[in-house]
Amino acid sequence: MEYKYMSQSESDTIELAENIEGEKFPGMVICLIGELGSGKTVFTKAFANSLGITDPVTSPTFNIIKEYPNGELPLYHMDVYRVDGNVKDLNLDEYFYGNGVSIVEWGDMIESSLPDERLDVIIKVIGEEKRAIILKPYGKKYEDICEAVL
C-alpha cells in the first residue's frame, strides 16, 4: 500500500518530517528517494531538528554516513549515491538494527541491503516548491506510522 501527500511548500515537507519523527522508535529506517533538489535533505534536517539535534545537518555526500548522537535518539544520516551498491564495508546492520534512526538518501540504490521493514519516502518534483510525496511502508509498524501522520 502507498500513501500520497501533496506538499505545496518546503514548510509542508518539514511538517510531514516532524510528524513522522513524532512516531520514531529505535531501529527505525527511512529511505528517501528523489532527484537532486527534491527535498531529501530538507526532510532530514526537519526530522533531526524535531529529534532535538542542534548540530548543523548537511548532506553526507562525501562522508556517506554522518552520526548525530545528541538527540532523543541517535540519528544516522546516510547518502549512498556514490557507493555503487558496494556497502559491505559500511556495517549497515549496526545502524539499521541499533538504537537510533537511520535516514538513507538514495536508498533505492542499495535496496537489496535494506531491512525488509522500513519506510520509503519517494519525493517527486511537481513545481518549484510543490512535491508529490509517496510514503511506502514495509511492515506493520510503518503502516501504522503512515496512518497516524496522514
Residue 93 pLDDT greater than 80, yes or no:
yes
What is the phi/psi pair of residue 147, to 5°?
-65, -35
> Mean pLDDT across the chain, nearest whole number?
94
Q: Could you tell me the residue range of the domain that residue 73 belongs to?
A: 3-149
What's the pLDDT band for 63 if we cut at 50, 70, 90?
A: confident
Percent of the chain with pLDDT over 70: 99
- CATH number of the structural domain spanning residue 77: 3.40.50.300
Number of compact structural domains in the chain: 1
| Tens of pLDDT, residues 24-58 | 999 999 999 999 999 999 999 999 999 999 999 98
- The pTM is what? 0.96
Q: Can you spell out the DSSP letters for 62-109?
A: TTSEEEE-SSSS-EEEEE-TTSTT--GGG-HHHHHTSSSEEEEETGGG
